[in-house]
Amino acid sequence: MEYAIELENVRFAYHDGRPALRGVSLRIAPGEKVALVGPNGAGKSTLLLHLNGILAGQGRVRILGQEVNGANLGWIRAQVGLVFQDPDDQLFSPTVFEDVAFGPLHMGLPEAEVRERVAWALAQVGMDAFADRISHHLSQGEKKRVAIATVLAMKPEVLALDEPTAGLDPRARRGLLRLLARLPQTMLVATHDMRLVAELFPRTVVLDAGQVVADGPTGHLLTDEALLEAHGLESPYLSPLP
């Protein structure tokens, strides 16, 4: 079977030499929606950056059956839509329109199609009216939506999202949740939002200290208190502190 995402014993250390990923293996089937949870510093963001070759350590990363290497980066990056944690990093262009157009333009698409895709992607996230706005002037929730549109415009097969609900108020969070539920892509979503995990993802991967410590149906994992406790996680069903 061909997996949408396949990691085989991926190891990675930043410049300072401390390992951030210590042999991660993971297989995600096409269309699957998977949550990636774990404490701060577990390596979630680092792992997502491996999916399209921005970081490359030892081990293998395959996307839709293709091994990520220097030669096919252009193709890989069009297949994996990576949305960064801070929308102020993701939205680096002066206007919303230019930001959403950035991906399609750098895929080498002709201008007419670029414009079409921008309109389509903004409509997907319900931000069509915001094309000419300055990114800085958007609310946090609007920024998160536009950030997703910037990768949707590239029509990726895989979405890799880093903490999509961080910093959102309940209403914006709800809206984003609905949006994520509607999108058909294969998804790997790093998050601390355990309610999001419970509501949206059938499968959950727990990462701690650069290693996969659990991988299975969300329902099972979230009721395994010993596991949650051991890795600094909280069940969304738990009552408030005693």
Ligand X SMILES: Nc1ncnc2c1ncn2[C@@H]1O[C@H](COP(=O)(O)OP(=O)(O)OP(=O)(O)O)[C@@H](O)[C@H]1O
* CB within 8 Å of 185: residues ≥ 6 apart: 31, 81, 156, 157, 158, 159
Q: Are 184 and 14 in contact (CB under 8 A)?
A: no
The listed partner (Mg ion, other proteins, ligand X, none) that binds 52, CB under 5 to 8 Å by sort, is other proteins
Q: What is the token pair recorded at 240? A: 């408030």
The structure tokens 């419970």 sit at: 198
CA distance linking residue 138 with residue 130, whole number of Å: 9
User: Should residue 173 be labelled a site residue for ligand X when binding is judged by CB under 6 A?
Assistant: no
- Tell the smallest beta-carbon distance from residue 108 to ligand X (Å): 30
CA distance linking residue 162 with residue 43, whole number of Å: 11
Centroid of chain to Cα 113: 25
Angular region, 173: left φ>0, alpha ψ -120 to 50, beta rest:
alpha
Specify the residue, 118 or 162, whose C-beta has the smaller distance to ligand X.
162
Specify the residue, 157 or 224, whose C-beta has the smaller distance to other proteins.
157
User: Should residue 40 be labelled a site residue for ligand X when binding is judged by CB under 6 A?
Assistant: yes
The amino acid present at 46, given as its one-letter code, is T
Q: Are 205 and 35 in contact (CB under 8 A)?
A: yes
Specify the residue, 39 or 175, whose C-beta has the smaller distance to Mg ion.
39
User: Should residue 50 be labelled a site residue for ligand X when binding is judged by CB under 6 A?
Assistant: no
User: Should residue 43 be labelled a site residue for ligand X when binding is judged by CB under 6 A?
Assistant: yes
Site string for other proteins, 161-190 (x = CB under 8 A): ------------------------------
- Tell the smallest beta-carbon distance from residue 228 to Mg ion (Å): 19
Give the largest Cα separation in the chain, rounded.
60
- Tell the smallest beta-carbon distance from residue 192 to Mg ion (Å): 9
Specify the residue, 150 or 218, whose C-beta has the smaller distance to other proteins.
150
Can you give the binding site for Mg ion, defined by CB under 5 A? 45
**Site of interaction with other proteins (CB under 8 A):** 49, 52, 54, 74, 77-78, 80, 82, 84, 86, 88-95, 98, 101-103, 105-107, 111, 114-115, 134-137, 150-151, 154
* Residue ranges in contact with ligand X by CB under 6 A: 14, 16, 20, 38, 40-46
